Structure 1
Amino acid sequence: MTSLSVETLAADATETITSVGNAQLGIAVLAGIAVIVLLITKFKVHAFLALTIGSLALGAFAGAPLDKTIVSFTTGLGTTVAGVGVLIALGAILGKLLADSGGADEIVDTILAKAGGRAMPWAMVLIASVIGLPLFFEVGIVLLIPVVLLVAKRGNYSLMRIGIPALAGLSVMHGLVPPHPGPLVAIDAIGANLGVTLALGVLVAIPTVIIAGPVFSRYAARWVDIPAPEKMMPARPSEDLDRRPGFGATVTTVLLPVVLMLGKALVELVVDDPESGIQRVTDFIGSPLIALLAAVIVGMFTLGRAAGFTKDRISSTVEKSLAPIAGILLIVGAGGGFKTTLIDVGVGQMILDLSKNWAIPTLLLAWLIAVAIRLATGSATVATISAAGLVAPLAADMSTSHAALLVLAIGAGSLFFSHVNDAGFWLVKEYFGMSVGQTIKTWSVMETIISVVGIGFVMLLSLVL
């Protein structure tokens, strides 16, 4: 990065709220992150409160006035929620419609009816990846676990042979592919192009999920050979419905926002004329807000009405979808506040100054930062938000494709080695009836493979783009 770019960025940036040196700023960053880590891991404080307190601690250690620190935090919180909050809400609505209408079950049953034998792990990856696009990770697990257990029992498969591919599909979508909250927040913080990030994310996700899913599941099944636990086979969500949406309509609805956003990115690359009529149209319909809103509206008919839902039932489904995401929105918003506080106290400029002499590639640096925060906090979302805030200034002179790869590097790092401080670890352990050691040998190793393979493909793409 040239000195000119640093000066240009500094001129455009908000004036810092403190004037301490880089050494104290570095200590302030470590102290702020340490406060967040200790609150989450040691004292079991909710991530929203931990990020809020950590932001105030960061400002205090950096010598910033308390009132200005509060303004920085609240400004960042508001900006972040305004940027991605609506998208998270729309994604939650679409996911709830998919689950409650039986559309997810239709996808599962249709694919499983055409798969068998050695193809079953690959079918599970496909199911989890398609369903995982609009669903949060935890919701995806709850939805897919009954299917995984049922397939493993009826087909006499090893639970790990079926379960690991499904978990890999969900996890890869969660970490690398928008419109999931983590990638969306990173895109917003770094200023990356969503369509390009989505396209490259899918490109990285495909080989990553193959290696971490069907391929690794062969070894996981040898290391941990356990039967499907009977007690964890609940009724499927759509068993009380008289009918459910068709396979084609369901898949079309789920993929609609992806197609619209990719179409926008493709037209930008081919036409490259903001005044062009077709590009103006695709810029509008391919924007994340409109693409997801269109999918939700279409889903009310292709999913809700197709399942026999009345207007009141659809309204109730939408209402119920929003309550569970309140915590996610607060965490994401507080993460945005922490990111803005980092920038306003001058950490962004400090990293720009120091990075001129770093030999480590920016993409690898972003991955390592996300890995460290993920290991410490156990939260992929916190890792993504914090890492994006720290490395965002380094994206100033990046090309569109490399800014997108920076988002993916952070996303890959945020998935590294899930262990006992991660709620997902315990969710998988309990659903699959495993011990802590067995969960580490399967789930934790799978997450690490996703992270390492993901950054590997990101680095390869950076050489050709």
Structure 2
Amino acid sequence: MTRLSVEMLAADAPPPITSAGHAQLGIAVLAGIAVIVLLITKFKLHAFLSLTIGSLVLGAIAGAPLDKAITSFTTGLGSTVAGVGVLIALGAILGKLLADSGGADQLVDTILAKAGGRAMPWAMVLIASVVGLPLFFEIGIVLLIPVVLMVAKRGNYSLMRIGIPALAGLSVMHGLIPPHPGPLVAIDAVKANLGVTLALGILVAIPSVIIAGPLFSKVASRWVDVPAPDRMIPQRASDELERRPSFGATLATVLLPVVLMLAKALVDIVIDDPANLTQRVFDVIGSPLIALLAAVIVGMFTLGRPAGFSKDRLTSTVEKGLMPIAGIMLIVGAGGGFKQTLIDCGVGQMILDISKDWSISAVLLAWLIAVVIRLATGSATVATVSAAGLVAPLAADMSTTHSALLVLAIGAGSLFFSHVNDAGFWLVKEYFGLNVGQTIKTWSLMETILSVVAGALVLVLSLII
């Protein structure tokens, strides 16, 4: 970013709500993040409350009037929920339809029937990536754990040889690929193009998940050679159903929003004329709201009807899909409030002023910031929304491609080294029957490899595109 572009950005931006200098703002940012980290890790306070309190502490130390700090927080919360809240809700509904109708089981059973021997870890990556596309990470784990345990037991595989690829597939979707909450919030904060981010995210995700999944699982299975634990395997959704959707219909439904969003991105590149009717049509059908809404409506027929769902059952499924996301929505919204408080206090401009003479890449800076917050808070979503707020001003004069890569750098950093302050760490430990050391040598290291490889690929792409 040139000095001229920074000055133009400063002239266009609204005046900050505080007159604090760089030193005071820097202290305010560190104090705000420290409060968030302390409340989440030490006092086990919900991330929504922690982000809210941290935002107010940031504003107070920066010298902002309390009423203006509150306005900044609530404005950011409202705009974030308005921007991505509906998308998160639609993704949750689609995921619940997929799980309850037996569509997820159909995908799993069909792929496993075609795979065996050395191909099994690769099949697990494929299963987790497809099934995990519309699902939140924790829900994906619960859904896939029975499959992982059954495959490991029946095929006499090391649990890590099967489990690590499945976890890698879920995690890469969570960190890099919309419509997951983290990437959506980062896209909204950075004002990146969703279709381009999705396309580049898939490009980065494929080699990253191969290295962190099937390849690393060979090493992990030697380090931690444990069988599937003797425990009761939960009943699958389709065990209670007389029928379930076909493989083709299920796969088409899951991939429909991705296809529509990628088609929009492709048409935008090929035609590049906002007045063109074709481009205008694809701009509508390829928007994330319409793409996900279309998938949900189609899913009611392709997933719900074959499973024999009545209208009441469909309504119940939609309601149950929405209930678990309240906490996620609040965390994402509060993250947006924290981001807006950072911006309104002038922190974004401070970062521009300080970093304009640095030789460090904006992409690398975004990755590093996300890594630090991830290590401190344990939450990939908190790391993503906080880092996005800090580096969003850097994207002001970036190209469409580079702003998308900035989002992916943040997402990659947010996956770095899951440890004891991350709920996902304990989920993996308990489901797989591991001790803390074994979980670190497998799950935590897998997350780190995924983060570093994806971050490196994003950095390389930023240099050559």
Q: TM-score, structure 2 length as denominator?
A: 0.99
Which residue identity is paired with 1:330?
Answer: L
Aligned to 2:403: 403
SS of match in other structure, 1:442 = helix
Aligned to 1:26: 26
SS of match in other structure, 1:230 = coil
SS of match in other structure, 1:243 = coil
Separation (CA, whole Å) in 2 of partners of 1:426 and 1:26: 34
Alignment of 1:385-464 (within 5 A): 385-464=385-464
Are the aligned partners of 1:146 and 1:232 in contact in 2 as well (CA < 8 Å)?
Answer: no
Alignment of 1:282-293 (within 5 A): 282-293=282-293
Aligned to 2:255: 255
Aligned to 2:376: 376
Aligned to 1:233: 233
SS of match in other structure, 1:424 = helix
Equivalent pairs, count: 465
Separation (CA, whole Å) in 2 of partners of 1:13 and 1:329: 28
Which residue identity is paired with 1:113?
Answer: A
Separation (CA, whole Å) in 2 of partners of 1:297 and 1:14: 41
Separation (CA, whole Å) in 2 of partners of 1:35 and 1:71: 20
Deviations, residues 358-411 of structure 1 (Å, cap 9, x unaligned): 121110010000000000000000000000000000001111000000000000
Separation (CA, whole Å) in 2 of partners of 1:5 and 1:294: 40
Deviation at residue 125 of structure 1 after TM alignment: 0.2
SS of match in other structure, 1:9 = helix
Separation (CA, whole Å) in 2 of partners of 1:165 and 1:12: 47
Whether 2:85 is the aligned partner of 1:85: answer: yes
Aligned to 2:165: 165
Whether 2:92 is the aligned partner of 1:54: answer: no
Separation (CA, whole Å) in 1 of partners of 2:460 and 2:2: 24
Alignment of 1:65-464 (within 5 A): 65-464=65-464
SS of match in other structure, 2:264 = helix
Are the aligned partners of 1:134 and 1:254 in contact in 2 as well (CA < 8 Å)?
Answer: yes
Separation (CA, whole Å) in 2 of partners of 1:163 and 1:12: 50
Deviation at residue 229 of structure 1 after TM alignment: 1.1
Separation (CA, whole Å) in 2 of partners of 1:306 and 1:78: 39
Separation (CA, whole Å) in 2 of partners of 1:355 and 1:257: 37
Q: Which runs of 4+ in 1 moved over 6 A?
A: none
Deviations, residues 246-290 of structure 1 (Å, cap 9, x unaligned): 000000000000000000000000000000000000000000000
Deviation at residue 230 of structure 1 after TM alignment: 2.0
Separation (CA, whole Å) in 2 of partners of 1:358 and 1:7: 16
Separation (CA, whole Å) in 2 of partners of 1:363 and 1:410: 8
Separation (CA, whole Å) in 2 of partners of 1:74 and 1:358: 33
Separation (CA, whole Å) in 2 of partners of 1:463 and 1:355: 18
Are the aligned partners of 1:371 and 1:415 in contact in 2 as well (CA < 8 Å)?
Answer: yes
Are the aligned partners of 1:103 and 1:244 in contact in 2 as well (CA < 8 Å)?
Answer: yes
Deviation at residue 232 of structure 1 after TM alignment: 4.7
Separation (CA, whole Å) in 1 of partners of 2:113 and 2:386: 43
SS of match in other structure, 2:397 = coil
Q: Name which of structure 1's ranges 422-431 and 351-360 shifts more when overlaid on structure 2.
A: 351-360
Deviation at residue 231 of structure 1 after TM alignment: 1.2
Q: TM-score, structure 1 length as denominator?
A: 0.99
Deviation at residue 14 of structure 1 after TM alignment: 2.5
Which residue identity is paired with 2:168?
Answer: A
Q: Which runs of 5+ in 1 are unaligned?
A: none
Separation (CA, whole Å) in 2 of partners of 1:232 and 1:122: 26
Separation (CA, whole Å) in 2 of partners of 1:354 and 1:463: 22
Deviations, residues 220-262 of structure 1 (Å, cap 9, x unaligned): 0000011111215111121000000000000000000000000
Separation (CA, whole Å) in 1 of partners of 2:445 and 2:341: 34
Deviations, residues 41-72 of structure 1 (Å, cap 9, x unaligned): 00000000000000000000000000000000
Q: Name which of structure 1's ranges 224-233 and 80-89 shifts more when overlaid on structure 2.
A: 224-233
Which residue identity is paired with 2:388?
Answer: A
Deviation at residue 93 of structure 1 after TM alignment: 0.1
SS of match in other structure, 2:306 = helix
